[in-house]
Structure 1
Amino acid sequence: MASNPTVSELRKASYVTDQEIDAAVDAVLADLATESYPLTKGWTLDLVETLRTNTRAAEALTTDKAAWKRNMVRTAILLAHPVMG
């Protein structure tokens, strides 16, 4: 695994479950100001930064298309680089 893995890489290595990723998506959709999110086993994800750096997800959050919004946020989370600690 890379020294700075994405959430997707952590998922493939079984460090993160689909349920934990879904919970992170739910956290974003419930509160767009969530910053330090405890993803799993010591890994933390800055959800505000994740959305700020993914224009498609940020754009999706401005629509009323719930499925597209959820999918774009999930994609942004999968591409994000959480930090250990």
Structure 2
Amino acid sequence: MATNPTVSDLRKVSEVTHGEITAAVDAVLADLKTEAYPLAKGWVLDLVEMVRTNEQVTIALKSDQAQWKRGRVRAAILLAHPVKG
């Protein structure tokens, strides 16, 4: 595994589950005040930073198209680099 893995990398080696990724997506869509979001097994993702640095998510969050919004947030989370807490 890479020294700076993405959430997708962690999913491939079962460090993070599909359900945990879905919960992170739900957290972004429900309340974007969450900075240090615990994924699993000590991995933490800064959701605010993930949104701030991803223009597509910023645009999607302003949309009224729920599925498109959810898909963009999920893609950004999969590409994000969590840290070991």
Answer whether TM exceeds 0.5 for this pair: yes
Q: Deviation at 1:32?
A: 1.3
Q: Distance in 2 between matches of 1:57 and 1:42?
A: 25
Partners of 1:69 and 1:5 lie apart in 2 by 24
Counterparts of 1:8 and 1:54, CA distance in 2: 16
Q: Equivalent residue for 2:82? A: 82
Could you say which residue in structure 2 is the equivalent of 1:64? 64
TM-score norm. by structure 1 comes to 0.98
Gaps of 5+ in 2: none
Tell me the SS of whatever aligns to 1:37: strand
| Deviation of the 1:83 alpha carbon | 0.3
Could you list the structure 1 runs, at least 4 aligned residues long, displaced by more than 4 angstroms after superposition.
none
1:46 matched to 2:46? yes
Partner in structure 2 of residue 25 of structure 1: 25
**Structure 1 residues not aligned, in runs of 5+:** none
What TM-score, normalized by structure 2, do the two folds share? 0.98
Alignment length (residue pairs): 85
Counterparts of 1:34 and 1:59, CA distance in 2: 19
Structure 2 CA distance, aligned partners of 1:10 and 1:17?
A: 9
Superposition CA RMSD, Å: 0.5
Looking at structure 2, the residues matched to 64 and 80 of structure 1 have their Cα atoms a distance apart, in angstroms, of 24
Query: How far apart are residue 34 of structure 1 and its match?
Result: 1.1
Q: Matched residues, percent identical?
A: 69
